[in-house]
Each structure stands twice: as structure tokens, then as C-alpha cells.
Structure 1
Amino acid sequence: MLGLGAGQVGAEALPEAEAERLLHRALDLGITLIDTARGYGLSEERVGRYLASRRDEFVLSTKGGYGVEGVGDWTPGSIRLGIERALRVMRTDRIDIFHLHSCPPDTLRRDDLLAELDRARDAGLIRVAAYSGENEALAWAAESGRFGSIQTSVNLTDQWSLHHVLPGAAARGLGVIAKRPIANAAWQFSKRPVGQYAEVYWERLQTLRLDPGDLDWNEFALRFSAFAPGVSSAIVGTARVENLERNVAVVEKGPLPAELLRQIEAAWAEHGQGWGGEV
């Protein structure tokens, strides 16, 4: 149910020893999904460096389509060579889930890119072709029959995919990875965090006026997202072992009480109908 978003693992400021400790602790706590990407700094390299000996203990998810030396972004070559590079740096013979990473709808629909994913899957280099993104592109990916999994934002303030895509995805048997499950911890800001990732979510929280009751905001948000209908796994990013341990303990408590879920549903019905997924 809970996965590790390994974006912060790739930060150059994070010491190697701390990255190693975090990744091993995740597996020791029973986390079985590690999600990374070509664009997450040192993340793929560190996953390979520290977890290659434990490769059979977790599902490995990454993303690509860009940033490959010598080829253009969003070309068959960027898919092929990107997968080959990811296999090499992560010291593995297969990638369980490979996402096209937030490309626009017209790119997502291209037959040459989809065919390259098919070839990689047929060759056993990847097990599941997937798409990570929002809104129109996400809806197309979920309905196309070309992908086995999707990754999308699911949280208290970002429910477009939860209402418009996940019901159909679940009916088709797609895996769903929920990203940003704690809404970038937007509640921690007393004033609008201008220019930060949390800004839009902060604005929406002011409008929704949710009340977590006796729960702290982190628990309120994470239990909502992790147990949202259709979600296979919710990934939380952190560079701190204590946060990781806290998140595991939170998810072990199960879904939110029914009265809190009703409050969230009513607030979304009143205020959130016109909000799209935040990209």
C-alpha cells in the first residue's frame, strides 16, 4: 500500500550514507515499491548502488522519455536508450514498471513511442508499460489499452483523477500509483508559499476548509490517499528515516473514519468540481 518516492534520494546534498540507510530501511519496514525517474538526480544510481543485492524484494518503478545523451527527447531512441541506461545504472536485468513521464497528449499517442515500449516489454526489459501524468493525457492512457499502470496525483486537494479516471482504471485492472499523497504538506505554511510546489494545494486547502479532527494533518492526508478507491500504492518522498517510519505507522492504521471521509467528499463536491489535476 505504501511506496517510497525516491526523488529526494537523488539530491546531491543528501550524503551517500543517508541515502543507503533510507533505502535499506524502506525495505526493512516492508515497503515493496520504489519509484524513481531519469530526472531525479542521483536517484537511479543510488537505487542500483545500494539495493542491487536486494532486487527481488521490491517492485522497481522508473520513468523516462527524455534526457538521454545523443538522442532527442520523446523519440524511440530516447525510450530504448533510456531503458538501457536505467537497467545499467540500477544494476538490474528488468524494470517492473516504466512510465512515460508527463508528456503531453499528442506525444503520448504516438505510435512510434508506443511500439518502442511494446518492444521493450516483449524483450523482457520492462514488465509493465505505464504513464505518469494528469488530466486529458492520463484519461487517454487509462482508456487506451496500451498501458498496464498509471501514476497520478491523489490527495485531499487533488482529486480529479480519483473521480474521473481511477474508477475506469480499476475496472480495466490497471495498477495505480498515487503520487503527492500528502499534498506537498501544504498545511505547514501559515502564508501562501509563493512559487513553491505547494502553492496551488495551499490555495485549495483554504477553500476546502477541512478539519482533521484529532488527527495531525500528515495522518489525515496520507490515510485518505493510501486507501482511496482504485489506488494500488501511494508513494511518499522523504530523505529522513524518521519520516519514513512515521508514514509506515500511519498507513498501518487503515482508512480514515467514515465521518471524515464524508466531510472530505462534501467539501470536494461543493468546491472542487472545477479543479483539474495539478501537473
Structure 2
Amino acid sequence: MMQREFGKTGLRVGVLGLGAGQVGAEALSETEAERLLHRALDLGLTLIDTARGYGLSEERIGRHLARRRDEFVLSSKGGYGAEGTEDWSPQSISRGVERALRLLKTERIDIFHLHSCPLDTLQREDLLGALGEVRAAGLIGVAAYSGENEALFWAVQSGHFGSVETSVSVADQRSLHHALPLAAKKGLGVIAKRPIANAAWQFRERPAGQYAEVYWERLQALRLDPGGLGWPEFALRFSAFAPGVSSAIVGTASLQNLEWNAQVVEAGPLPQALLAHVEAAWQAHGQAWGGEV
């Protein structure tokens, strides 16, 4: 699978990464989780992205991939949920990283994100100091931020972070047009999440109250034509090869979907005519839309 330099970190990652949220679901059996994780590496995915809030994900990654740790870049997130500490306190950073290292059965997390905290929290000097301390101690390789909008833009320009994670899709291009050009200039790595826009195109009617509702509304306004491609391929190739994106992570519990995703990105970027079509639609309808948190 095609590899890319990850900003100025010295890391190399595949165009496609595995979002390991569904790996942590209790509905997924231990055997299924093991097969999925190993198959991801066998297919050439070299980035696995997890988080404190993803159920059993960190534990399962550690249990099943500890012996293959040198084959992938490990990304996680935190700032909350560390036992015996207040969320978004300096102790939640230090103890959270220590807990994650134990579960992941590793000595170092390559990329560690503050996970979707608001701007006023992100700017706190005590949190930034705690993040710097775990990095100085070698417990994490790259300090990062995962989020959207004003907080994301501040993270990119602040000088405190070497990487960011943000939504990039045909239905969510705020970061692509605003934060990512600056991230590229500063040499930051960028992980694109939700690249298939929550598969919002699959709903004939508004999925009221569901996660895909906002993206469904946007797709109705954009009136995109995938140009003879299926919607999943159209969306994934758009995000994976968007300017400034280091790796696009797709979450799945299905081996079949995982293999299909890996095959799709081998086709490379969308044709220029399709990219121009998406850009024209966004310029006409999407300028006022924020990134979805």
C-alpha cells in the first residue's frame, strides 16, 4: 500500500489507516477482533488509531498485536477517563498515558491526541505542560489534537502539536479548506477521520436523530454526482488523497469491508474532473458549514 511521510515526525504511514473504534465494541467477539487487526496489518495498513473512549479497543490491540508492534504506527487519544483523576487535569494526561501503555502493551504511543476538548481547555498551560512532559519522557512520540473548527485551527498554528486529526469528507470540508493548508506549511501530520461521511448516502430519507443526519442534509444540498463510481469509492478516494492528508482512517468490524477499502485506495486519487465537480459544489453551498465534532 502507498506510504507517506507523516509531517516532520519521521514516521511513515499508509494512505489508509484503521480506525479502531469498532474493534472495541463488546458485540465484536475476541476472535473477530483478532482476525480484523491482523488482517489490517497483512493488507499493508500501517496506522491504527484508537482512544481511551473506544471500549475494549486499546486492550485488544495490545493483546493481539504486541508481537507485531514494529509493523504499525500507533495513535491514541485521551485527557479523560483516567481512574482517580479529574477529566482534563494534568494528572489525567500522565495517568491516562500510563494506563494506555499498559493496555496497549507498548513502551511508547507514536501519536497521542488530546481528544476533542474545546478551545479554552486546549489552551490551558497546565495541560500543554503535562503533554510536553510525557513526550519529553519518551512515553509518546508526537503530541497531537483531535477536533474541529476554532480549536483545530488554534492547535495547528500554536506550535504545541506535531499532528492533528480532523474530519475530511465530501460532506465535511471545513478543515480541508482552512486548517490543512496551514498544517502543511508547518509540517504537521494529518489523520483524516470520517472519510466516508458516515455513509449518509445510503439513506433514502432523512435519518432523523442518527449520526449521519447532518451529512445527509449536506449531501442533499451539494447534489454530487460520483461520476459512475459507487458512493463509498467516490468518498474514500476523495478523502484519502485530499491535499495535506497523511492517512485516512476507516472504522469497520467487517473483514470484507476492510479488504475492499484497501483495494479501493490502490486506484489512487479521483479524476481531476470529479475533483473539480466536488470543489464547485462546495464553493456554491458549503462555505458556511462548520466541521462536525
Gaps of 5+ in 2: 1-14
Q: Please point out which of 92, 99, 121 is paired with 1:107.
A: 121
Amino acid across the alignment from 1:16: E
Match of 1:270 in 2: 284
Mapped partners of 1:262, 1:164: distance in 2: 18
Identity score, percent: 76
Match of 1:22 in 2: 36
CA shift for structure 1 position 213: 1.8
Report the TM-score, using the length of structure 2 for normalisation: 0.95
Gaps of 5+ in 1: none
Mapped partners of 1:241, 1:62: distance in 2: 22
Matched, 1:160 2:174: yes
Match of 1:247 in 2: 261
CA shift for structure 1 position 214: 1.2
Match of 1:33 in 2: 47
Mapped partners of 1:234, 1:219: distance in 2: 13
CA shift for structure 1 position 68: 1.1
Match of 1:97 in 2: 111
Matched, 1:146 2:154: no
| SS, match of residue 185 in structure 1 | helix
Matched, 1:66 2:80: yes
CA shift for structure 1 position 114: 0.5
Mapped partners of 2:282, 2:207: distance in 1: 22
Match of 2:141 in 1: 127
Q: Please point out which of 16, 25, 30 is paired with 1:2.
A: 16
Matched, 1:226 2:243: no
Mapped partners of 1:158, 1:202: distance in 2: 11
Match of 1:88 in 2: 102
| SS, match of residue 265 in structure 1 | helix
Mapped partners of 1:43, 1:62: distance in 2: 10
Mapped partners of 2:149, 2:171: distance in 1: 15
Q: How many residues align?
A: 279
CA shift for structure 1 position 196: 1.0
Match of 2:225 in 1: 211
Q: Deviations over 1:24-76 (max 9, x none)?
A: 00000000000000000000000000000000000000000001111100000
Mapped partners of 1:206, 1:42: distance in 2: 36
Mapped partners of 2:141, 2:54: distance in 1: 21
Mapped partners of 1:259, 1:222: distance in 2: 16
CA shift for structure 1 position 195: 1.1
| SS, match of residue 85 in structure 1 | helix
Q: Please point out which of 179, 192, 195 is paired with 2:193.
A: 179
Mapped partners of 1:151, 1:118: distance in 2: 18
Amino acid across the alignment from 1:272: G
Moved more, 89-98 or 189-198: 189-198
CA shift for structure 1 position 206: 0.4
Q: Please point out which of 196, 201, 216 is paired with 1:202.
A: 216
Q: Deviations over 1:139-194 (max 9, x none)?
A: 00000000000000000010000000000100100000000000000001111111
Amino acid across the alignment from 2:166: T
